[in-house]
Structures are given as C-alpha cells and as structure tokens.
Amino acid sequence: MNTLWSIMSYGICVASLCLKVSAVTDTINTSQFLRDGETIVSSEGSFELGFFSPGRSRNRYLGIWYKNIPVPTVVWVANRENPVTDLSGILSINNSGAIVISNRTSHVIWSANSVQKAQNPLLQILESGNLVLRNRNGNSDIYLWQSFDNPSDTLLPGMKLGWDLRTNLNRQLTSWKSPDDPSPGELSNGIKLSEYPEPVIWKGTTEYFRGGPWNGLRITGAPEQKINPVFSFKFISNQDEVYYMYQLLKKSVITRIVLNETSSSRDRYVWVESENSWRLYGSLPRDYCDNYGLCGANGICVMTGSPVCQCLRGFKPKSAQRWNSMDWSNGCIRNEPLDCTRKHDFVKFSGLKLPDTTHTWLNRNMNMKECREACLKNCSCMAYTNSDIRGRGSGCALWFGDLIDIRQFSDGGQDLYIRMPSSQQSICLSFWSRIC
C-alpha cells in the first residue's frame, strides 16, 4: 500500500502546454489540469484530492482522502467503475461546467456535468471534504455540482443522506466491492420514502436493516443514539427534502460513517490521535434482532427471549410447525380475526422499535385522542402512535396491514397502540407480562 500510495507523489507532465497546479492551492480553473501525482488541498489542510491506487490494485482513481491523518483513508471516489489503467490520468474542467477525467489518449474516463449554466467555473476542495464546482464570481455557496450529492461509501459530517424531492436527487452510500476495488458493492444505505420515511440499509435490492422513523429525538431503531459531546444529528422531512445528517460539535474531532462490504455493516469511526488509528464507535446492524423482518409479520424480536422471535400478544404463529422449528418467516396471525362490524380497542405495547413504515399515514398536528379516532375510523388501520415524542408527544402515525420488523428494546424504545377486538382489551403494558 505504501509504495503504491507514494506513486502519488510523482508528477508526470506529458503535455507541454500544462499549467502546473501548485501544491498550496485548493482550486482548479478552466486553464489548469490536475495530473496523476499532483493534488489540491483544502484551505486548512483537512482534505486532499488526487489520484490514488486502492489496496493492492494498480488502477488509478480520482479520490478525496484525509490530509491531516497518517492512515490513508479515502472518503470519496469519482471514477469508481472506470479506473485509469496507468499514470496518465488528468482532471480538468471546461467552460460549460463539465468535470472530466481523461487518459493519455484523451479518452474521457469519467465526467460530471453542472446542472446550471457555468460562468468561468472553479473546482474547489472544501474543508468539509466536499468537492464543489462553482462560478468564480457569484455566491460561493451556490454549487453547480458537488461530490456530497454523489456519495461513495462514506458519510462525512454535513453530508445529506437522502432525497431532494425538487430535483429527484437521491443520495445513497454504496460500499466498495473490496479494499482493492471501489466500484459499487452489494451494500447501500439511504432513505426509504413513505409518509413516514426512514433510513434503510439494503443488500442488493433486499432490505437488510431498517433504522426506523425519526421520532423528533432520534431514529427509533437506534435508541442508543443519544445526545453526545462529539456530534449532533437530525432528520429533515418536508415537501422539498427528506434526509439524515450529522454534524460535528467539536471541530477537532474527526469522525466518519462508512459502509463495509466485508462485514456487511455501517460503521462509525472516530479518529484517536493518541493511538494514531480509527476506533470503531458504533456499528449497524448490531445484533440478530436487527435482521430485517426476522420474526415475520406481527412478530416481535426480543434479544433476551428464547427463541428471540415471539408473536405479538393477541397473535399466534401462522404455521405452528414452521414456527416451532424456528422458521419465523411466515409470521403471526390474529388469534381472533378482526371483524370490522364489531367494537375495537387498542393495546399499548412499550419499548418498541416502530414497525416498517411502508404503509403508513402521517399527520403532524393531531394529538393522541384524534390519532386514535382516525385509526378506529379505518378498519385496515392496525396501529397508531405519536410521530414526535418530544415533550408530551404530538403528531399521529397510522400503520395499515401487517406490522413488520418490530423489536423490543430494554431501554429507549417507543409506545405503539395496536388494534384488538374489544374482548382482548387488557391493561397490559407490555406484551410479555405474565399478569395479562
């Protein structure tokens, strides 16, 4: 790795017309090129852009890595699927706002285009690790293109994970195929849109881990996500945008989230100066119960249970035989089918990861009483809860059809009110209680 990494320090200038990019700059303009071996560095020296070879590969990729730490850590790759096979790669931008990587024979290896009309554009590597294209004159916060809108496998502080609904832009992370190959692997992470959107990790096209919807404080599937001194996080969901983002509280901290193909996980690392290494801070999925839909429809996963899968109270295995052989995929059905002509009530379940939100309805202004009534009015409504648990709680989320991917947390879970025939109504607060 080290020898290949050091290849970057060679500067090869083939064309005689070239203006060399000076080492101290953070920008490239339309009359400059960035050759393999040259780099640009963000203003305070946090990030560097240049060509590199990953792992044992000899292929060359344009990427961004930390400049201020000694462990080579690439956070973004431009030409993930189209490497330059020798050291002839050249990065340039042109007057119409195209960013182009070409090789010795001037073949375009990779390009990205400005969405708006460019006027004397500049390509700049920012302190945040964002590579941006902007007009030289004009608002420096308006970007014609930015690498943050085209993530690789890493989510840096300030990056949006999710959707700009106005332009239909969907920002997702995708893992590298291997440490030697940055082309997109199996694992991806983004926001699943619905009335009540939530972050999801996919393996191929299959949902693999579900974060749960945002409850005003955190993602409901991550109760350990607490206020901490290192970073803050937020989830924005309105008619224009739906995204997750975290931000640093202390500028000196270096942290990143990365998807790992090998371990099939989404890992947060924090740089530990005294150890000169990355420390794993948290990893998703955490445990067996984090496997999406493990217990099937209307099942609930309890890590301390034996077996981990149980049917929600008021439900029984759809196939007792399969259930008893620990194949829970068929899930659970009601002990007594819901008869819409009869009276119904709700049973409160506590400490949960809220079910899959694909079939939900949301109203941010309703209170609990109105929410309950709204659910009662529609016989296919199975459950409701506050969409925002801050203070005394507000908003209304309704679930329709089967309840999928519920788990029990020992701490920090949420309440969910599940519809039951009136006869089964009870004062149970938790599903496993023997008193019920």
Ligand X SMILES: *[C@@H]1O[C@H](CO)[C@@H](O)[C@H](O)[C@H]1NC(C)=O
Binding site for ligand X (CB under 6 A): 29-32, 85-86, 88, 94-96, 98, 100, 103-105, 107-108, 111, 258, 260, 262-263, 361, 378, 380, 400
CA distance 205 to 145: 28
In the chain, DSSP finds a helix count (H) and a strand count (E) of: 3, 34
Nearest to residue 174, comparing CAs of 148, 208, 137, 201?
201
Least separation, in Å, of the C-beta of 157 and ligand X?
Answer: 17
CA distance 401 to 309: 20
Residues 92 and 33: beta-carbon distance below 8 Å: yes
Nearest to residue 47, comparing CAs of 23, 66, 34?
66
Residues 7 and 37: beta-carbon distance below 8 Å: yes
Nearest to residue 220, comparing CAs of 41, 46, 357?
357
Q: Which is nearer to ligand X, 86 or 327 (CB)?
A: 86
Q: Which is nearer to ligand X, 14 or 142 (CB)?
A: 14
Nearest to residue 197, comparing CAs of 372, 313, 361, 422?
361
How far is residue 206 from each of residues 87, 189, 202, measured CA to CA in Å?
38, 11, 5
Nearest to residue 54, comparing CAs of 185, 189, 176?
176
CA distance 236 to 43: 30
Residues 119 and 137: beta-carbon distance below 8 Å: yes
Residue 198 in tokens? 């939530």
CA distance 313 to 306: 16
